[in-house]
């Protein structure tokens, strides 16, 4: 049986595509900026709905709403637009919450590939997506997969001036946990020292 939200998605996307084909080219050039703004606002509204659904652990509805946001906005704004990136993040969280780990992984890998293609493999825009992917692997106990992802995120963080204590502490703590679980005490100690140094940098009085 088709879910009501799925039917809504299909109808809405069909209407948008149909209307787009009916607009003359010269008119599209005039209204495109406004259309992008309207689309962005619509995507943001859906993103907020997804947050509420995720909070209530309604993962199926959250995934469908995130898919709706992506279907509505990706063709207009592009996959690397912040609002669409947020939609993909929410979609991966919905899959993760419902234990659909393969779908969550595929969603994040698609976003990583698109970001690399749009910007570069050294883009700071990759950092939050890498964190999500690392957390996904960590949650499943796939430490061999999580480790290089967290290390890459840390490497990119070191190259940006926008790094913060919170942005660095999470992957460091996860790496310490990974190395401890694997019995790599020397590596765990190395990253523990790095974490302590970081704490001193941001909180020198402590």
Instruction: Go through the chain and tell me how many residues it has.
Output: 206
Are 4 and 105 found together in one domain? yes
Cα–chain center distance at 160: 19
Domain boundary among 70, 97, 118: 118
Domain boundary among 94, 118, 142: 118
Are 142 and 69 found together in one domain? no
Measure the CA–CA gap between 62 and 94, rounded to whole angstroms. Answer: 6
Residue 166 lies in a domain: yes
pLDDT of 25 over the 60 cut: no
Residue (of 71, 76, 70) closest to 20 by Cα position = 76
The mean per-residue pLDDT over the stretch 86-112 comes to 98
Domain boundary among 67, 97, 118: 118
The backbone region for 78, taken as left when phi is positive above 0, alpha when psi lies in -120 to 50, beta otherwise, is left
Are 39 and 56 found together in one domain? yes
In the prediction, which pLDDT does 105 show? Answer: 99
In the prediction, which pLDDT does 199 show? Answer: 83
In the prediction, which pLDDT does 28 show? Answer: 45
Query: Dihedral of the CA atoms 127, 129, 130, 134 (nearest 10)?
Result: 140
Are 67 and 128 found together in one domain? no
Are 4 and 104 found together in one domain? yes
pLDDT tens per residue, range 63-80: 999 999 999 999 999 999
Residue (of 35, 151, 55) closest to 97 by Cα position = 55
Q: How many domains does the chain have?
A: 2
Could you list the residue range(s) of the whole structural domain that residue 6 is in? Answer: 1-10+23-118
The backbone torsions φ and ψ at residue 80, rounded to the nearest 5 degrees and listed phi first, read -95, 5
Are 103 and 157 found together in one domain? no
Residue 15 lies in a domain: no
Cα–chain center distance at 66: 12
Measure the CA–CA gap between 92 and 106, rounded to whole angstroms. Answer: 9
Residue 196 lies in a domain: yes
Are 103 and 161 found together in one domain? no
Measure the CA–CA gap between 149 and 156, rounded to whole angstroms. Answer: 11
Count other Cβ atoms within 10 Å, centred on residue 126: 20
Query: What is the percent of the chain with per-residue pLDDT over 90, rounded to a whole number?
Result: 70
Residue 200 lies in a domain: yes
pLDDT tens per residue, range 166-199: 678 889 999 999 999 999 999 999 999 999 988 8
- Which of 4-8, 110-114, 153-157 has the weakest average pLDDT? 4-8
In the prediction, which pLDDT does 10 show? Answer: 46
């Amino acid at each position: 049986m088709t879910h009501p939200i799925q039917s809504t998605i299909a109808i809405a996307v069909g209407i948008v595509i149909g209307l787009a084909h009916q607009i003359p080219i010269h008119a599209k050039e005039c209204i495109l900026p406004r259309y992008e703004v309207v689309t962005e606002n619509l995507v943001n509204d859906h993103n907020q709905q997804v947050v509420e659904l995720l909070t209530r652990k309604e993962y199926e509805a959250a995934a469908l709403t995130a898919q709706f946001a992506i279907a509505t906005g990706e063709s207009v704004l592009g996959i690397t637009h912040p609002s669409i990136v947020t939609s993909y993040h929410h979609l991966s969280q919905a899959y993760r919450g419902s234990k659909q780990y393969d779908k969550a992984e595929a969603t994040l890998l698609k976003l990583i590939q698109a970001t690399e293609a749009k910007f570069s493999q050294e883009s700071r825009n990759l950092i939050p997506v890498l964190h999500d992917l690392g957390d996904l692997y960590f949650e499943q106990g796939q430490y061999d997969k999580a480790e290089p992802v967290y290390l890459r995120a840390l490497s990119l963080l070191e190259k940006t001036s926008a790094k913060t204590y919170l942005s660095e502490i999470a992957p460091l703590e996860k790496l310490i946990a990974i190395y401890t679980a694997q019995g790599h005490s020397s590596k765990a100690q190395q990253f523990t020292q790095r974490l302590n140094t970081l704490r001193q940098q941001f909180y020198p009085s402590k």
